[in-house]
Structure 1
Amino acid sequence: MKSQTQTESLTYEQTHQSCRILWIDIAKGIAMLLVFYGHLGGAGDNPWFPDLTGSIWVVYLFHMPLFFMLSGLTFNPNKDFRTFFVSRFKRLVIPYFFFSIYALGKILLLIIAPSVVTGFHAGAMGTPLSEIGNILLGNTNGLWFFLALFWGELALYGVHKLARHSTHRHLLLAGISSLSGMIWFVVSFLGIYKFVPFQLLHATEAIAFVGLGWLLSHRIKTLSAQETMYLLVGSTAAFIVFGIISRHTETHDVGWWVFLAALPYFCAAVFGSMMTIAIAQLLPSWRWLTYIGRNTMTFYGLNGLSMAIARKLVFILVPVPLVAAHIAFQIIIGILVITVACLICTAATPILNRWCWWGIGTSNLRAIRLSAQRAASSNGK
């Protein structure tokens, strides 16, 4: 007979995980690993992994659209506006400012020891005041995803409310998503999104890919194993084709050509995301991968800090010139750096879940457990 504590723990875990779709967690785990891989080179100059820049470029074609599309698969606008707004604010806006504490640490280091900052091969930083301004205006490097998703979901909530009774709502959503995707790549090529605060222009990327994920949600979730295999083969072939086209597409021209140039990038992002979703449905449910997927908020928020620490630790032991000289070493050490970064995030996750749940957009697990215990005690009387 199970003890009362075991029963309560089981009840809590069943309640907490019952609404999750396993392969979506796997897909989020893959997406998070791609984020780590994309950040292997850091910012500024890249003295560590020069031969991996091509593969990192490929990852950047689709890894963030993939995150947005996965958000679309679970997007639920069927709530009143106040409930929807508050839940998304707690889940996205508060974590943006919470994880910006790391950026404040870099600013403090810039004041105390500016030579140390330059020694990290980081991207260019402004004055401490300008960097604080960037945080307050939503322009913290690496954390833009939170605010872009927040605005994008609010926009899609509005689309849902306006078009929910229309017989053409799916066609309208497809049109809005496609147009938003094209607009995003145009403003990305032109770099103008950097001049608009709170990631409002970056939200076009969220509207595009959350919208597509939402539009395709039911069909993707009901794919058979054979259909998933067809999806994998077809999307992989299409991704390769559009990836090659994107590689040979000029994007520096600011004329009308830039709209046409955006098309292969948009298609590569869509098919790369679909390819990864198909892979996630076919993969076994490895616990370590699903753990990352279920805790992507923490892993994403800490990826910059954990990668910086991991690179520092690894390259204390391994000379940078030795790694940079051989592609095999770059692959091995790159995997090691990502592994160390993931272990750091894994160690931090239960701490943040326990003590900083309010800052990472999750529920108070301790309060939930106590509530479950009280309910179990009441049922036992």
Structure 2
Amino acid sequence: MNTDFHTNDIQHNTNKASTKRIEFVDLAKGFCICLVVLLHVFGESAGNTFNTLNLFRMPLYFILSGLFFKQYSGFQEFFKKKTNKLLIPFLFTYFIICIPSIILLSKSSLNLSCFWSCTDLKLQLGIDGAVWFLMCLFFQNIIFSILYSINQKMSFIFTSSGVIGIGGYALNIANIHLPLWIDSAMTALPFFLFGYCIRKYSQILFTGITKKQILYLLISILILIATSLYNDFANTTIIVYGVNHFNVNPLCLYLGGITGFYIIFMFAKFIKRLPIFSYIGRYSIVVLLTHLLYLFIIRNILYKIGVNQELFMVNVCIFIFIILLSIPTIYLCIRFLPYWFAQKDLIK
């Protein structure tokens, strides 16, 4: 792919004539989107668990996108593909969900600041605060594609991506924000690079689980535990890609993301397929763009009837209900709104 969020682009193969999907990749995406929903439901009340999972829940998608990077016939076609798969779903969600929710929930007179924050140069997203990821991933693909077009030598791509990533992290330190989540795309670019390198230098997608991969898995678990413990001890646990805000050491940030990805990836490779998780992973863009709307509605209903939403089991039930609700939502969206959820190309 480019594993955008959508999955018709995920026709993974070693033979160009093959159209068979790699099921464990959908499963890995299913695990990841469930983590996104889970952490949005529980928030920071999950404590250290939240901090550990937060290290890799978004990097997993950045790495998958790099893992399936493809330049197509040139930059123009690449740009068109990314527009169909990422930009159009973003614009659809922004105008159909975000702006109406901003207007409905606004308690003051509407002005430009209701839709655009002049302080951090970000679009306001209303209820659907997760939609930023599509714009971030769009620019990440564009940046990497430009680098690839300039020079395909790995020394250049590796160095340039690393410099851009550190530059994005430095913007966070300097409290400088770029519009439309370009700064977040920059900071996360090394994850995209890592995915690209996996595809280029290994056969991890197409081979069984080897002893070497098991060794890497054990090492990844140890590194992730050490990284999480260090962050907790140093009280450096802020990781918010949506606003490019981190206080985590950059080495811990990237190590945590990469090792967490590898653990989830290998776990999915071992299991191969779980019906519900694989299904929502295949169409994870739908879950991404709708789960916060459902969460908003559910929380307001529970508030109205006086349910204590701080209870652990209440939040577990909310999470399960949203995941189950995602199944018919996916069917309806891909059936009636395929162009807006990246299942068909609007721009030919």
TM-score range, shorter chain: 0.7 to 0.9
Distance in structure 2 (CA, Å) of the matches to 1:313 and 1:342: 18
Change (3 A) 1:359 1:259: closer
Instruction: Return the alpha-carbon distance in structure 2 between the equivalents of residues 128 and 350 of structure 1.
Output: 37
Equivalent position SS for 2:41? coil
The reply to whether residue 79 of structure 1 matches residue 109 of structure 2 is: no
Alignment of 1:51-90 (within 5 A): 52-90=46-84
Distance 2:109 2:24 in 1: 42
Instruction: After TM superposition, give the deviation of residue 205 of structure 1 in Å.
Output: 3.3
Which of 207, 220, 223 aligns to 2:189? It is 207
The equivalent residue for 1:108 is 103
Segments of 5+ residues of structure 1 without an aligned counterpart are 1-16, 115-124, 253-257, 366-381
Please state how far the C-alpha of 1:155 moved relative to its aligned partner: 1.3
Give deviations 1:81-115, integer Å, cap 9, x for gaps: 2211111011111111211222223223224xx4x
What secondary structure does 1:103 align onto? helix
Q: Deviations over 1:180-225 (max 9, x none)?
A: 44334443455433xx212111111342211210111242324531
CA drift at 1:58: 1.8
User: Which residue number in structure 2 is paired with residue 298 of structure 1?
Assistant: 286
Bigger Cα displacement from structure 2, 230-239 vs 287-296: 230-239
AA aligned to 1:233 is: L
Contact kept, 8 Å, 1:310 with 1:338, in 2: the verdict is no
Q: Does 1:129 align with 2:136?
A: no
Q: Which one has a larger percent helix, Structure 1 or Structure 2?
A: 1
Equivalent in the alignment of 2:299: 311
CA contact (8 A) 1:184 1:201 kept: yes
The letter for the 1-side match of 2:257 is A
1:155–1:131: structure 2 CA closer, same or farther, 3 Å change rule?
same
> Matches of 2:192 and 2:257 in 1, distance apart?
12
Asked if 1:21 is matched to 2:15, the reply is no
Alpha-carbon contact 2:231-2:248 (below 8 Å) kept: no
Q: Which moved more, 1:332-341 or 1:309-318?
A: 309-318
8 Å Cα contact 1:95/1:359 also seen in 2: yes
Q: Contact conserved, 1:26 with 1:280, CA < 8 A, in 2?
A: yes
Contact 1:186 1:259 in 2 (8 A): no
Opposite residue 99 of structure 2, the aligned amino acid is L
Q: Structure 2 length as normaliser, TM-score?
A: 0.79
CA contact (8 A) 1:72 1:213 kept: yes
Paired-residue identity, %: 21
Query: Which amino acid in the other structure matches residue 341 of structure 2?
Result: I
Aligned equivalents of 1:178 and 1:126: distance in 2?
A: 44
Match of 1:178 among 153, 162, 167: 162
Cα distance change of structure 1 residues 357 and 250 upon mapping to structure 2, 3 Å threshold: same
Task: Give the TM-score normalised by the residue count of structure 1.
Answer: 0.73
Preserved CA contact (<8 Å) 2:84 2:345: no
Cα distance in 1 between the residues matched to 2:272 and 2:301: 32
2:214 corresponds to: 229
Is residue 31–residue 63 contact of structure 1 (8 Å, CA) maintained in 2? yes
1:325-336 pair list within 5 angstroms: 329-330=311-312, 332-336=313-317
SS across alignment from 1:271: helix
Letter in 1 for 2:190: A
Could you tell me which of 90, 114, 124 is aligned with 1:96? 90
Taking only aligned residues, the RMSD between alpha carbons, in angstroms, comes to 3.0
